[in-house]
Amino acid sequence: MIPRSRTVSLLALCALGAICLSGCASEKRPVQELKPLALKEQVSNIVKSADGYAVTWAGVLSNANPWHFGEHVVATIVGHDAKGTEVVRMDQPLDAVPPGGSLAFTGQATASEKPAKVTIQYRPARWRAAARIPSAFQRFPVSRVQTLPQKDGSYLITGYVGNPYQISASSLVVNALLRDKEGKLLGGGSTFVDDVKTGSPPRFILTVSGLPQGTKVARTDITARTWGSTGRPYEELALAGAAPVHTVKPVTEPFPIDRNTQVVSEHKQ
């Protein structure tokens, strides 16, 4: 039998605990503030074409949030003539911006009148938490890149894009950004590669045109990414895991004595 004094004390403690729990439950958890996407770089070029003026552009969006995808982003490209009249407008859906990463994009449109100014804006992204840690989203390696100037002023760019994951990537977008010797963005272009298997990098070929006459390209930055307005394709690859670095069994015989062990033993003596 519990003494009356102890019973009163227990009831008081329970009541106090209930009040504390009620107060904690009523408190709202702090909402994580996500930083908006930032348009780090943009450039546009205008050249005369057979049916008016060819307007080309390139840009780089940056995502400072390491745990969230920026999805359903749409860029709006607007061109005005010298009098301020709008002569070209285009909405360009963009691919998902990876957590803590960036997104290079390029595009082109035709204007009947020559734009004097072209601007790039974008609608705010819809944020979605990533299913894996940031380090799980590896870059797609690019190798053997060649940038070849053509007689018409364009540039032919070729190379190979790899897949660091264990399963095949159904479709990847390859972007090329051209820069001068100071690193300034000059223009860019893009293409697609399909069914990218681990260990079998396909070749990509793309052309960058519409650059001003006399442009001198000193560097080409190539990036590859999954295609689509959401990060689901990228997540599926990351969830499958990265491919092992060494996939071929060694053919040489192992050392009779581990050299590291021998060195440590000699050092201790």
Q: Render pLDDT for 190-239 as a digit per residue (tens, 0 to 9).
A: 999 999 999 999 999 999 999 988 899 999 999 999 999 999 999 999 99
- Would you state the pLDDT for residue 255? 72
For residues 266 and 113, the model is more confident at 113
Q: How far apart are CA 165 and CA 242, in angstroms?
A: 4
Q: DSSP states of 21-50 as a string?
A: HHHHHHSPPPPPPPPPPEEEEEEEEEEEET
Of how many residues is the chain composed?
Answer: 269
The token duo for 116 is 């004097």
pLDDT given for residue 29 in this prediction: 42
Q: Which helix (H) or strand (E) holds 240?
A: helix 232-240
Contacts of 193 (CB under 8 A, 6+ apart): 161, 171, 172, 174, 202, 204, 224
Quote the pLDDT of residue 138: 95
- Residue 121, strand partner residues: 76
pLDDT at position 24 is 47
Which two three-digit tokens encode residue 210?
A: 């519409």
Nearest to 137 by CA among 220, 224, 212, 267: 224
Q: Where are the beta strands (DSSP E) in 32-184?
A: 38-49, 52-62, 68-71, 74-80, 86-93, 102-111, 117-122, 126-129, 142-149, 155-161, 169-179
